[in-house]
Amino acid sequence: MKVPFPTIAQRITRTGGHASGFDYMRVCLSLSIVTLHSAITSYGLAADQAIFESPARPIVRMILPAFFALSGFLVAGSLERSKTLFMFLGLRVLRIYPALAVEVLLSAFILGPLLTTLPLHTYFSDPQYFLYLRNVLGDVHFYLPGMFEHNPLPNIVNGQLWTIPFELGCYITLAGIALLGVKRHRILGPIFVVLVTFTYLLVTLYRHHGVIVPVPGAINGALLIATFLSGVSIYMYRDVLPFTPTSGLISGVLSVALLGFVPSGDFLAPVPAAYFTVYLGLMNPSRRFLFGGDYSYGIFLYGFAIQQTIVYAVPYGDFWPVNILLSIPTVILFAAVSWHFVEKPAQRLRSVLKIGEGKILSWRQPAPDLQSAE
């Protein structure tokens, strides 16, 4: 269908299918999370709450929705290119689990023994230790025995991992929609955005006896899934959705208003927040300032534990400017190692997935007509 305005699909074509804006956004959003966490790790929960109640509220509340929307838009492209659901899910596993497993094991086997206040035999036999290892499977636990007991945010090793179950929920939901035929019936994307949002609304009303209680901090995980699916839907409708400065401006204003000022605006925010994220991502500035790889996931994984360690071990590490100045270069270093020695090598296993995908496709081929072959 021809439309009288530039579309997102046309913009994707003009950028060669790889707009640098998405790469910049991944890095900037991950570093923004580290910067935001400098408050809670330096001063505790009260400081975190103060930031979310400050004039910066619309901006800090946009960080996670932007991450999920960006992921939804890009992952939808991966789904479209994958010939089978096996390949799609396999690619997601390769992207998430190797780096996550290494980070969890480093925390449990190196950071923990170095910093715990407990004897090592007590540390390694504590039930909390074994629960923490389940983070490898996406079953999130924040505590290691004897860790960071006197930090302003006590005991928590990796607070940012709370989003991992919701990321997995995004991929599982998208896989279910794929089985229902979203490639052929793209309306399924918007339907599930509404379904997830409405379900969360009903659950909220039920839990609070008919009252919607304002969320003081980050946007709820269920709405992050709705934002992810909004990113997926925008990709699916890229041929009819506009890519214009006006649409970008309107979506940005709506995102700020709904996330920062409108009561219960969270329920209406996923779509404009996703569109605004995609609009920014399709900008295509020079790549000269980008790292030599995608360090965003490593920054996300290692940031919190490094910041907690700095608060614990470094004089004045609980003074947030010191925390930021020390943590950001350290986190980037760990992220670079993670990318070059864990995440990027894991991508080479795609060849194994292709072999498996080929077998699945061959099984799906109709049986040969022996009579005609004769």
Q: Please state the three-class secondary structure of 135-197 as a single string.
A: HHHCCCCCECCCCCCCCCCCCECCHHHHHHHHHHHHHHHHHHHHHHCCCCCCCHHHHHHHHHH
For position 370, what pLDDT does the model report? Answer: 32
pTM of the model as a whole: 0.92
For position 140, what pLDDT does the model report? Answer: 94
For position 222, what pLDDT does the model report? Answer: 93
pLDDT at 345 over 90: yes
Domain boundaries, the chain: 8-286+296-361
pLDDT at 371 over 50: no
User: Are residues 144 and 108 in contact, defined by beta-carbon separation less than 8 angstroms?
Assistant: yes
Question: Could you tell me the two tokens for 137?
Answer: 């499977």
pLDDT at 374 over 60: no
pLDDT in tens, 31-72: 999 999 999 999 999 999 999 999 999 999 999 999 999 999
Question: Could you tell me the two tokens for 236?
Answer: 């699916």
With both helix axes pointing from N to C terminus, report the angle between 164-180 and 63-81 in degrees, rounded to the nearest 10. Answer: 40
